[in-house]
Amino acid sequence: MSLLVRTTDDLALDTGHEDAVLPGRGRRTRTLAWLGLALLVVLGVVVAAAIVSGTAGDTDLPGRNAGPSLDHPFGTDRLGRDVLERTLVGLRLSLVVGTSAALGSGAIALLLALVAVAGGRVGEAVVTWLVDLFLALPHLVLLILITFALGGGTAAVVLAIAVTHWPRLTLVLTAVAREVAGSDHVAISRGLGHGRAYVARRHLVPHLLPQLSVGTVLMFPHAILHEASLSFLGLGIDPSLPAIGVMLSESMRSLSAGHWWLALLPGLALLVVVKLIDTIGTSARALVDPRSHHL
């Protein structure tokens, strides 16, 4: 249960009730359209960030602290840097953090789910204990401790986020794996003399892949918001880099001077990207596991 990063992965909300009128293909097409659109926008952010990354750090002191205009849609900061360009580069950094979390924590979750189901009673007890252990500290405090142990800095934060986002996905995957492990074909395979490792690899993993891919996408929002939070506190990404958390932390200094765009716009951009990735995840889940969408 994460309040800090309040996702709603575990809730499948039937969002549109007019869908009842448009069953079957209409809904599927629309979900696909949302998925495509969200993917396109996220890709657009990456491409745009690549284009502007060269000029994002350029200072322009005469034009500093200017509000949003046509030249600078997000305004400029106290050194005259274009806030939109910095925001785009910061968002790309967020996506990198999200990707590393997806790869790192996704792999850990898959491994632990297999151990929990194929490893017998001991395996299950160990995995649930580990999950409880990682949920025993507020996530932000855990991240602070691990970042500290790694000596701080950008790499430390990315690594800390990558290795702490697996508990919830592990629980989801374990539940799915347990269901599969109880099915007839697994019993037959065991009866034919196949070992636990073989069953895990050949019979469990293929069934876990859809949930794993959806779960890793839904991990992005958590990871991105945690990175931004740590950076905001000054414990995350190197303050000289344009990360959203760093920019918002800097914006606090000039908030009383009325420079609202420095706080509002980068945060809003982050919110939009997080929502988009959430849309990608939930749409993909609706396609992979339609039942979850009809509760």
Partner 1 sequence: MLSAPARIALRTARVLSLLFAVVVGSFWLMTASPVDPVQAYVGADVAAIGPEQREQIVDRWGLDDPPLERFGAWAGNVVTGDLGQSQIFGEPVAVVLADRAAASLALMATAWVLSGVLGFSMGVLAGVRAGTWVDRVLSWWAYLLASAPTFWVGLLLLYLFSVSLGWTPVGGAVPAGSLPGEATMLERLHHLLLPAATLSLVGVSPVLLHTRQAVVEALGSDHVAFARAQGETPWGLVLHRVLRNAAGPAVVLQFATIGELFGGSLLAEQVFTYPGLGEATTQAALRQDVPLLLGIAAVTALIVLAGNAVGRVLGRVVDPRAAVLAA
State the residues that interact with partner 1 by CB under 8 A: 1-4, 6-8, 11, 13, 15, 17, 129, 132-133, 135-141, 144-152, 221, 225, 228-229, 232-235, 245, 248, 251-252, 255-256, 258, 260, 263-264, 267, 270-271, 274-275, 278, 295
Nearer to partner 1, 103 or 257 (CB): 257
Smallest distance, Å, CB 112 to partner 1? Answer: 16
- CA 248, chain centre distance (Å): 20
187: phi then psi, degrees, rounded to nearest 5: -60, -40
| Residue in 263, 259, 261, 270 with CA at minimum distance from that of residue 247 | 263
Bridge partners, 113 (sequence order): none
Q: Please, what is the minimum distance in Å from the beta carbon of residue 247 to partner 1?
A: 11
Helix pair angle (244-251, 83-118), 10° resolution: 130
Q: Return d(Cα 187, Cα 205) in angstroms, integer.
A: 16
Strand partners, 76: 82
Rounded to a whole number of angstroms, the minimum distance from the CB of residue 69 to partner 1 is 20
Nearer to partner 1, 8 or 59 (CB): 8
Backbone angles phi, psi at 82, to 5 degrees: -75, 120
SS3 82: strand
Phi, psi of 186, rounded to the nearest 5 degrees = -70, -40
Residue 124 to residues 45, 117, 202, 263, Cα–Cα distance (Å)? 41, 6, 20, 46
Least distance in angstroms from the C-beta of 256 to partner 1: 6
Residue 194 Cβ vs partner 1, minimum distance, rounded to whole Å = 33
Which residue number, 149 or 188, has a Cβ lying nearer to partner 1? Answer: 149
User: Which residue number, 199 or 247, has a Cβ lying nearer to partner 1?
Assistant: 247
Q: What is the Cα–Cα distance from 272 to 8, expressed in whole angstroms?
A: 16
- CB of 241 or CB of 263, closer to partner 1: 263
From the CB of 38, what's the least distance to partner 1, in Å? Answer: 13
Nearer to partner 1, 181 or 228 (CB): 228
